């Protein structure tokens, strides 16, 4: 059972933000509820908002109650007693000096403590925080090995900005102190993509280009902007979902299985084998859409350009479909179709592996298929064929399925990743090699999508996405599952 045994101080930058309220505070509550936190620890929220310790604790309590189906007040009170607030500006060294003074006062008498700085803030303000963490004494060279700098994805908005962030980090931090967090890698179902292959050799034997026709990786979201108007308008679906989430899933599916020690190296080696298919027209390998007004889950929802804070002429995409290929010998020639969109009919993340056409074709026959559903009704389904009675080769589907629910030690993804960071475990964190490659792969696509003459298809909220996306894949002789 993973737990934090040594004292730690966690400074959360962006303490009043959307991510902190939606994910981080509920995750910390679960860690407190499950007694995974030590006796000596502190969580200090740092942001520009006007709050003190008392109002910050009320802010956290409200977020926890809103994010959890039920709350044990004793566990929540215990968590809140370790939480503090420090108001400050990200670019002011003096505010960080005051923060360090307060941390030292709280930490007095602690032994072997770990400090963590969690950047839950836009990449545009990273530089000031990173400089002042060192200039203000939050991190010093004498503390090496006892500090973690956690940066929530996206790391930058393109290759150049990601490299600038890496350069800024290198001035003060060693590689072992840098933790680039993609919460997808904290999901047990996503981790299972790797371990299903590792623990089941039969699956590994099937994962080869001689047997597989194509792969689909879909991340459908029924939600809209959820209070993240500014973030999403400057990001769009490609940067939000593809640059890390979907490429990570594809890498876990295609990476070599060599044990945990080489895990991050092999994950990157798999990722860097992906490439964009040669195309005279990039519209042949990518398609974008934007949702309009529609009905979802029994209620009317606004279109993207009708959302508060969005300009009526915004061309920000909320749906992307992209085709990529892999150079690895095992997967060479197998197309990967990635898609993601907001305000779709249901929330589901799914890997679909469709195998080649059967040798024996008869009435009702269809290719075998493996579905790994990571979010939604999480589970694994194998679609096979069995013959009907009679002399003619007539077939019916045989579906084998089992839920992929978490058994045993189950924690929310941010809670699990935080505990791993406290313990110095980087296996399920991104490397800068992965971040740089992902931007290098997708920057040309992003540039194409922002051109005024690139089609932006409209789709009704509550549907599967643009109708044109179906026609787009049908040209390759497939259909979306």
Return the axis-axis angle of helices 159-170 and 432-449, rounded to nearest 10°.
150
Element (H, E) at 110: none
- The four Cα atoms 304, 306, 311, 317 give a dihedral, to 10 degrees, of 10
State whether residue 330 is helix, strand or coil.
coil
Long-range contacts of 93-98 (CB under 8 A, 24+ apart): 93/132, 93/135, 93/136, 94/136, 95/132, 95/136, 96/132, 96/133, 96/135, 96/136, 96/137, 96/138, 97/136, 97/137
C-alpha 465/C-alpha 348 separation (Å) is: 13
Neighbour-count burial for 32-71, b at 16+ CB within 10 Å, e otherwise? bbeebbbebbbbbbbbeeebeeeebbebbbebbeebbeeb
C-alpha 477/C-alpha 401 separation (Å) is: 26
**Which residue in 348, 301, 287 sits closest to 461, CA to CA?**
301
Q: Number of helices (H) and strands (E) in the chain: give both, helices first.
A: 15, 18
Environment class of 81 (CB within 10 Å of its CB; exposed 0-12, middle 13-18, buried 19+) = exposed
C-alpha 265/C-alpha 276 separation (Å) is: 22
Active-site residue, 214 included: no
The CA R_g of the chain, rounded to the nearest whole Å, is: 24
- Output the six-digit token pair for 44: 């200090």
**Alpha-carbon torsion (136, 141, 145, 149), positive or negative:** positive
Catalytic residue among 245, 359, 414, 423: 245
Active-site residues, by number, are 245
């Amino acid at each position: 059972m993973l737990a934090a045994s040594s004292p730690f101080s966690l400074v959360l930058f962006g303490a009043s933000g959307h991510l902190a309220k939606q994910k981080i505070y509920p995750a910390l509550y679960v860690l407190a509820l499950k007694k995974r936190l030590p006796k000596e620890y502190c969580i200090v929220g740092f942001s520009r908002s006007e709050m003190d310790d008392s109002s910050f604790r009320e802010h956290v309590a409200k977020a926890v109650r809103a994010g959890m189906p039920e709350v044990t007040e004793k566990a929540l009170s215990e968590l809140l007693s370790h939480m503090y607030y420090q108001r400050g500006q990200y670019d002011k060294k003096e505010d960080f000096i005051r923060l360090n003074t307060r941390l030292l006062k709280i930490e007095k008498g602690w032994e072997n403590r770990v400090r963590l700085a969690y950047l839950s803030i836009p990449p545009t303000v990273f530089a000031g925080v990173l400089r002042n963490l060192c200039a203000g004494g939050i991190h010093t060279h004498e503390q090496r090995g006892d500090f973690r700098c956690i940066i929530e994805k996206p790391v930058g908005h393109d290759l150049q900005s990601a490299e600038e962030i890496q350069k800024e980090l290198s001035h003060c931090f060693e590689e072992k102190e840098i933790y680039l967090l993609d919460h997808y890698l904290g999901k047990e179902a996503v981790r299972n993509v790797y371990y299903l292959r590792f623990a089941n050799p039969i699956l590994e034997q099937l994962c080869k280009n001689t047997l597989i026709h194509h792969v689909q990786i879909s991340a459908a979201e029924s939600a809209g902007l959820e209070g993240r108007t500014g973030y999403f308008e400057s990001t769009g679906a490609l940067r939000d979902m593809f640059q890390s989430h979907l490429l990570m899933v594809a890498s876990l599916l295609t990476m070599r299985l060599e044990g945990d020690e080489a895990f991050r190296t092999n994950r990157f080696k798999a990722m860097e084998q992906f490439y964009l298919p040669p195309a005279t027209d990039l519209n042949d390998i990518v398609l974008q859409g934007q949702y309009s007004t529609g009905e979802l889950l029994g209620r009317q929802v606004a279109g993207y350009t009708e959302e508060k804070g969005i300009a009526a002429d915004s061309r920000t995409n909320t749906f992307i479909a992209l085709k990529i290929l892999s150079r690895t010998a095992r997967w060479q020639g197998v197309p990967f179709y990635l898609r993601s969109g907001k305000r779709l009919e249901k929330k589901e993340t799914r890997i679909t592996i469709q195998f080649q056409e059967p040798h024996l074709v008869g009435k009702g026959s269809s290719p075998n298929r493996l579905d790994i559903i990571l979010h939604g009704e999480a589970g694994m389904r194998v679609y096979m064929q069995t013959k009907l009675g009679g002399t003619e080769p007539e077939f019916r589907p045989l579906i084998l399925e089992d839920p992929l629910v978490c058994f045993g030690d189950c924690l929310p993804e941010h809670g699990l990743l935080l505990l791993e960071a406290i313990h110095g475990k980087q296996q399920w964190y991104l490397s800068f090699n992965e971040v740089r490659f992902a931007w290098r792969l997708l920057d040309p696509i992003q540039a194409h999508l922002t051109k005024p003459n690139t089609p932006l298809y409209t789709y009704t909220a509550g549907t599967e996405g643009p109708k044109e996306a179906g026609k787009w894949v049908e040209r390759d002789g497939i259909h979306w599952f």
